[in-house]
Chains A and B, each alone.
Chain A
């Protein structure tokens, strides 16, 4: 019987000829990633397990990224301890506060290769599946076990295959595609499953767009999002890695739990309304909703492509009086690219605040928190009540195009009306 790409990656990582969905395997980890807020707990767990040193100092990647730079003495202490830890453990890959968000930095710096197993102590680790890896998020004790042993137990997931076809209309973006899919599948419709994205639209999409799709697999309960590697994947990776790849692909006749086909030729920009990620509607149904803050950034939409389209819409215009527009690139690399393309100036001239790379306003722990009664529009991935500050605030999720257009008008706006 044919196998899915996830079954094949997990079989290989476990030293098995084959593995079937439902089986529990003990898999060897290729990359173990930890962001600042979960590193200390993970390393504590490793030590409690009786190991003082990580199993492989070249396979562990640590980043001070969520609260970067530190906004409280507690966060500063975590960063300090992590710097010390990286030095003591002789870690080859440590990225400090200026470098950016884990899910952008790892692909950018060539840590993620097709066919590998990436385990991260952050739920959005599924993002890395955009490069054809099996990538999933775990908690600190699981990560402690990985650090101690280099292995993890995993249940091989069933796969939901989402086939996306059709040419995306102008100003309708990968974010709109994934919001549309989440609206269909629901916030727990992919629990324990891998979500494989395929079809012509995905083939035509760059790595940045594929990362946006895979990033939000967790918002459907998914274990990973994954796109089979192709020439675009290899082109992205060639200059960032040694260029040696051992990719895996699904077999013909692979067994899927569910197949979903979506034609995006007529897709409208989408918005996830408060307070659930699967409360998805076309932007046209919420036009005119007043917004207080707009955030463009995060591991979902803080890439150059996202900033570029937002800047294109904002160029020569002004952010609406009384609206705060925060733009935070997902990495130093994105920041540099934006500088070179001249779009940082476009944001600043329009009245935006342009931040240094970090998770920014996404998780309500660092910058850009919302007050009670305020409405936030954000390109990030979660609109849970209280996620971005006060539980009395309302958060809408959208694409960078909807975000930019709405920042200009001060109300939720269809970008096709302003561009």
Chain B
């Protein structure tokens, strides 16, 4: 799986209240959640983000609550992948479960700038920044998560494997 996209960059400890503030947790339609993506730290993000964009984050991306609204808002706003120094565990699981790429890549916040176009090779574990002629390796996703992603998320995965589960 390969992803090419334009980068929006954020710092460390981007919590789920930043990604979608608590007052929007009453929403159940992901398209409505998407209108408030990143509103807690970058109001207007949903206006400027384009289909296929990539978020680059620092350490502990997605810390805080278990709200699946957070990865859903990003996914439906058009974000294809979040690449971060490290992730908080619930956000990480939630992202993979709904088919949003969450890739742990130490060094990424140094190597990539906002507005860069990056090419991410998910299977090999490599991020290229063609304009800079630079690249960065990361550890590919564990096998189980690749299976879940390849089947389109946990909903499909469970549906396909209900008997053995």
Contacts and interface: CB of A to CB of B under 8 A. Distances in A.
Interface of A: 24, 26, 37-38, 40-41, 44-45, 48-50, 66-67, 72, 74-75, 78, 120-123, 125, 137-142, 144-145, 148-149, 151, 153, 187-188, 191-192, 221, 223, 276, 363-365, 382, 384-387, 391
Interface in B1-44: 13, 15, 17-18, 21-23, 25-28, 40-41
B76 to A, nearest CB: 13
Contact of A139 (B40, B59, B68, B165): B68
A221 B26 contact: no
Given A121-B66, A188-B60, A142 B155 contact: no
Contact of A149 (B23, B41, B86, B158): B158
Q: Point out which of A26, A72, A141, A187 has the most chain B C-beta atoms below 10 A from its C-beta.
A: A141
A74 B88 CA distance: 29
B26 A38 contact: no
A386 B26 contact: no
Given A192-B89, A221-B60, A386-B18, A148 B158 contact: yes
B17 A139 contact: no
A122 B65 contact: yes
- What are the 6 A-B residue pairs with the smallest beta carbon separation, nearest first? A139-B94, A139-B68, A365-B22, A188-B60, A74-B26, A141-B97
Given A38-B66, A187-B63, 6 more contacts: A38-B25, A139-B67, A142-B97, A148-B162, A188-B63, A192-B89
Contacts of A66: 25
A187 B22 contact: no
B91 to A, nearest CB: 8
Contacts of A387: 17, 22
B69 to A, nearest CB: 8
B66 A364 contact: no
B48 interface: no
Contact of A122 (B66, B86, B97, B144): B66
Contacts of B21: 364-365, 386
A140 B88 contact: no
A148 B25 CA distance: 23
A276 B25 CA distance: 22
B18 A188 contact: no
Contacts of B71: 139
A139 B93 contact: yes
B88 A221 contact: yes
Nearest to A278: B13
Contacts of B103: none
B35 to A, nearest CB: 14
B90 A137 contact: yes
Nearest to B61: A188
Interface in B34-86: 40-41, 59-60, 63-69, 71, 86
B27 A221 contact: no
Nearest to A388: B22
A276 B13 contact: yes
B158 A145 contact: yes
19 contacts: A50-B162, A74-B27, A78-B28, A125-B66, A138-B90, A139-B67, A139-B97, A141-B97, A142-B93, A142-B154, A153-B144, A221-B63, A363-B25, A364-B17, A364-B22, A382-B64, A384-B18, A384-B40, A385-B17
A41 B28 contact: yes
Given A140-B68, A365-B22, A149 B165 contact: yes
A243 B8 CA distance: 54
A37 B27 CA distance: 9
Given A122-B66, A141-B97, A49 B162 contact: yes
